């Protein structure tokens, strides 16, 4: 499961399924710097993106999910220097 792999990498996405229009992306023991948090459909089409600045050992970013159809989506986290790239599948209800 992709979410488990993301947790092992120190980045996790919750809650899943998404029922309230937002999702948390937690960063644990990640290199400091800028990250992009992207919401994609299953075809890889970019729906929205936000920049997050990680400045500590543990940080949680709240990502608002735009008004999209119910279904499966991908949350992709990429560091500015491309040292970290994690993709998690979420279900929007």
Q: What is the pLDDT of residues 40-91, one digit of tens each?
A: 999 999 999 999 999 989 999 999 998 999 999 999 999 987 677 899 999 9
Among 1.10.150.20, 3.30.2000.20, 3.30.300.20, 2.60.40.3080, what is the CATH number of 2-92? 2.60.40.3080
Using CA atoms, how far apart are residues 31 and 67, in angstroms rounded to an integer?
A: 32
Alpha-helical runs (H) found in 1-93:
2-8
| pTM (2 d.p.) | 0.85
Q: How many CB atoms lie within 10 A of CB 70?
A: 10
**pLDDT of the residue at 77:** 95
């Amino acid at each position: 499961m992709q979410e488990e792999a993301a947790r092992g990498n120190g980045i996790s996405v919750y809650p899943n399924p998404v029922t309230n229009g937002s999702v948390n992306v937690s960063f644990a023991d990640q290199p400091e710097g800028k990250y992009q948090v992207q919401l994609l459909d299953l075809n890889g089409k970019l729906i929205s993106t936000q920049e997050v600045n990680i400045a500590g050992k543990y940080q949680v970013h709240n990502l608002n999910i735009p008004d999209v159809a119910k279904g499966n989506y991908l949350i992709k986290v990429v560091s500015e220097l491309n040292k970290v790239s994690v993709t998690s599948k979420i279900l929007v209800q």
